[in-house]
């Protein structure tokens, strides 16, 4: 299970680099934070149950944050 968190960290790191190169700095910072979170969890050698609890908490926080952003902050059709 720890290898899957290392793999998630790798892919979020790849996405962070692509967002940074694309000029989307705020999203890149979000993905860098996710990369650090996943890599730290990958090296903690927790039990499989604890890994699932941590991933569930991560998904819940992401869903609440994304819903808040999409509902109250994002302005549809506002281009830069």
Look up the pTM and report it: 0.76
Q: What would the mean pLDDT of 31-60 be, rounded to a whole number?
A: 92
pLDDT-derived band at 44, boundaries 50, 70, 90: very high
Alpha carbon separation from 7 to 34, 38, 39, 64, 72 (Å, rounded): 12, 8, 8, 24, 32
């Amino acid at each position: 299970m720890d290898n899957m968190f290392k793999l998630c960290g790798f892919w979020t790191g790849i996405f962070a680099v692509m967002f940074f190169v694309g000029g989307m700095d705020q999203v890149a910072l979000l993905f860098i934070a996710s990369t650090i979170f996943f890599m730290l969890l990958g090296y903690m050698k927790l039990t499989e149950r604890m890994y699932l609890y941590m991933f569930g908490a991560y998904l819940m926080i992401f869903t609440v944050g994304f819903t808040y952003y999409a509902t109250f902050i994002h302005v549809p059709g506002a281009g830069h």
